[in-house]
Amino acid sequence: MKITDVLSPSLTCHCCTWLSKKRVLENLSTMISHHLSGNSDYSETLFQKFLSREKLGSTAIGNGIAIPHCRALGVKRIYGSLVTLKNPIDFEAFDNQPVDVIFALVVPEERNDEHLATLARVAEVLQNKTSRQSLRECQSDKDLFDTAMLLERES
C-alpha cells in the first residue's frame, strides 16, 4: 500500500512542539482517533497500542526518523499520520540521533500483510536522504502533505 493511500491532509502536522516520545504518541493517538470516529474516545486505546509496540523496541529507524505503528480492532483501513517536530526528541533510536520526522500507522488487526507492506514502503521513502531533507524543509501542513505525495510518486 502506498503513502498516498493512507495519508490525508488532516493527519499531517508541520513543526509540532511535542517535547517527548510519550507526548508524540499521545498526540498522534488523539489525531488519528478523532479522524477515525469524529471524537477522541478511541485515543487511549491507540495510545496503549503504540506504547505496547514501543516496549518491544523503538520504532525509530535512524537519521531522525520514527515510524510508530500498531494494529487495532475496529479500524477499517490503514491510517497514516505524518508530523515534523520543531525540536527533535529522543526516541531511543539505535543511532542515538533525536527524531524530528514521524510517520505513524494504525492498521486493522487482521491485515498483517498490508501492515508490513505499508511499513516497508514508508521506510523506503523515509530512508532516502533527499526525501528526508525535503520533508524537513516544509513550511506548512499543506506543504508537508504535498511533499509526501510527491515523494511517493517519485520513488
**C-alpha dihedral sign at 5, 10, 13, 16:** negative
Cell of 59: 520504532
CA distances from 3 to 6, 53, 79, 89 (A): 5, 21, 9, 24
Catalytically active residues are: 69
The gap between the terminal CA atoms of the chain, to the nearest Å, is 13
Determine contact, residues 119/2, Cβ cutoff 8 Å.
Answer: no
Nearest to 88 by CA among 27, 17, 6, 13: 17
